[in-house]
């Protein structure tokens, strides 16, 4: 689906018209993937539009930049304020938010230090990432033949633009194999994550998810779901999982800002039979929280 245009994009300190938010073809990040970014969502809540865990996302942006030795020329507070202002300027009630910090136009070559660090924030309405049907019926996934990047080649904890060509290879393989999503194994062969989502399984009433040493992005939705589950009295264990743990699970689901909380109904032809009671409970709670219908989690909602 083409990106729906809105009025303004924030670029290096200015609110510019959507069609004018452009970069030079010799931009460093275009050639070498030398950028870091975030994916955030704002929801319509009972008290107005609120950005879900905005501060946590901006903190992760700074962590990604630290790994790549990029100095972001704005403070986290400024980026937070700009995000809220941008949503207001564009009159959006709910939207996806994409901040990106990248090595800009200056010099070519692998030493990026003489390139400027450019910063942009864009917002647009983005519906169900894995399709409207995904929430109810779940998706079909395959285990990718591509391994997830390992921490000593590209630190998976960083959300860097160039790192996503690994996810793109896996996603293309899945799409051409007529699956909706790819699940990647880590460099040791343990389950890591989806191309753009963290993975969970449920077995005998306990939730399991790969730990942060399984080359995952430390998802903010992952963290959200872990907290919700524990608050509901469900045990959550972070540990290594193998391929057959997915096949034999009672429930499998994935989480991400774009994807939200989505059941997985099939992995490499192994069917995960409904009903998926814990997935359903977590989905329901997640959507209540982001819409501001649960007072207990108000702190995660940052009103614009």
Active site residues: 159
Q: Half-sphere exposure (CA, 13 Å, Cβ side) for 215?
A: 25
Under DSSP, is residue 253 helix (H, G, I), strand (E, B) or coil?
Answer: strand
What is the rounded (10 degree) CA torsion for 98, 101, 105, 110?
A: -120
Give the three-class secondary structure for 215. coil
CB within 8 A of 69, min separation 6: which ones? none
Of 27, 161, 167, 279, which one interacts with ligand PPE (CB under 6 A)?
167
Q: Considering only residues 199-218, where is the footprint of ligand PPE by CB under 6 A?
A: 217
- Determine if the peptide bond prior to 275 is cis (ω within 30°): yes
The residue with tokens 């702190």 is 299
Among 35, 219, 263, 292, indicate the residue that binds ligand PPE (CB under 6 A): 219
Among the listed ranges 44-52, 81-89, 105-113, 256-264, the one in contact with ligand PPE (CB under 6 A) is: 256-264
- The reply to whether 9 sits near ligand PPE by the rule CB under 6 A is no
**Cβ at position 56, least distance to ligand PPE in Å:** 8
Asked if 112 interacts with ligand PPE (CB under 6 A), we say: no
Please give the helix or strand (H or E) that residue 16 lies within, else none: strand 14-17
Residues 6+ apart with CB under 8 A from 118: 11, 12, 23, 27, 101, 102, 103, 104
Strands (E), 33-116: 35-37, 40-45, 48-52, 95-103
| Residue 171 engages ligand PPE in binding (rule: CB under 6 A) | no
Q: State the minimum distance, in angstroms, from the CB of residue 106 to ligand PPE.
A: 26
Q: How far is CA 281 from CA 82, 169, 243, in A?
A: 35, 33, 25
CB nearer to ligand PPE: give 103 or 159. Answer: 159
Q: By rule CB under 6 A, what string of x and - marks binding of each residue 16-55 to ligand PPE?
A: -----------------------x----------------
Q: Work out how close the CB of 199 gets to ligand PPE at its nearest, in angstroms, rounded to a whole number.
A: 9
Choose between 7 and 218: whose C-beta lies nearer to ligand PPE.
218
Choice between 115 and 143, CB closer to ligand PPE? 143
Q: Taking CB under 6 A as the rule, does residue 283 contact ligand PPE?
A: no
User: Pick from 180, 193, 251, 302: which binds ligand PPE (CB under 6 A)?
Assistant: 193
* Residue 135 · residue 128 · CB < 8 Å: yes
Residue with Cβ nearer ligand PPE (56 or 250) = 56
- For position 197 contacting ligand PPE by CB under 6 A, the verdict is yes
Q: Is 256 in the site for ligand PPE (CB under 6 A)?
A: yes
The residue (of 118 and 181) whose beta carbon lies closer to ligand PPE is 181
CB of 288 to ligand PPE, least distance (A): 18
Q: Which of 64, 144, 161, 257 binds ligand PPE (CB under 6 A)?
A: 257
75, with CB counted inside 10 A (0-12, 13-18, 19+), is: exposed
| Residue 243: partners with Cβ closer than 8 Å, 6 or more residues away | 143, 185, 191
Q: Is 220 in the site for ligand PPE (CB under 6 A)?
A: yes
Buried b / exposed e over 282-302, threshold 16 CB at 10 Å, is bbebbeebbbbebeebeebbb
Give residues in contact with ligand PPE (CB under 6 A).
39, 167, 193, 196-198, 217, 219-222, 255-259
């Amino acid at each position: 689906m083409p990106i729906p245009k809105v009025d303004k994009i924030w670029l290096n300190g200015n609110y510019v018209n959507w069609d004018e938010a452009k970069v030079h073809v010799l931009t460093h990040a275009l050639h070498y993937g030398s950028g870091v970014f975030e994916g955030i969502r704002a929801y319509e809540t009972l008290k107005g539009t609120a950005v879900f865990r905005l501060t946590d996302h901006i903190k992760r942006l700074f962590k990604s930049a630290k790994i790549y030795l990029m100095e972001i020329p704005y403070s986290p507070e400024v980026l937070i304020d700009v995000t809220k202002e941008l949503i207001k300027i564009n009159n959006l009630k709910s939207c996806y938010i994409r901040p990106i910090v990248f090595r800009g136009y200056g010099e070519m070559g692998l030493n990026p230090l003489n390139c400027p660090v450019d910063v942009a924030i864009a917002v647009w309405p983005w519906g169900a990432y894995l399709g409207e049907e995904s929430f109810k019926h779940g998706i079909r996934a395959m285990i990718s033949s591509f391994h997830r990047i390992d921490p000593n080649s590209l630190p998976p904890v960083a959300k860097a633009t160039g790192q996503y060509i690994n996810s793109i290879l896996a996603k293309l393989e899945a799409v051409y194999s007529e699956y909706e999503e790819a699940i990647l194994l880590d460099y040791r062969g343990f389950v890591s994550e989806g191309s753009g989502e963290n993975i969970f399984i449920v077995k005998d009433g306990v939730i399991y998810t790969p730990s942060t040493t399984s080359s995952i992005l430390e998802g903010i939705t992952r963290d959200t779901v872990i907290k919700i589950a524990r608050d509901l009295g469900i045990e959550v264990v972070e540990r290594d999982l193998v391929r057959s743990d997915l096949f034999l699970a009672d429930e499998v689901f994935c989480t991400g800002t774009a994807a939200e909380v989505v059941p997985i109904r099939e992995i490499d032809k192994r069917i995960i039979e409904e009903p998926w009671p814990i997935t359903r409970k977590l989905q329901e709670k997640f959507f209540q929280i982001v819409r501001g219908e649960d007072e207990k989690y108000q702190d995660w909602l940052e009103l614009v």
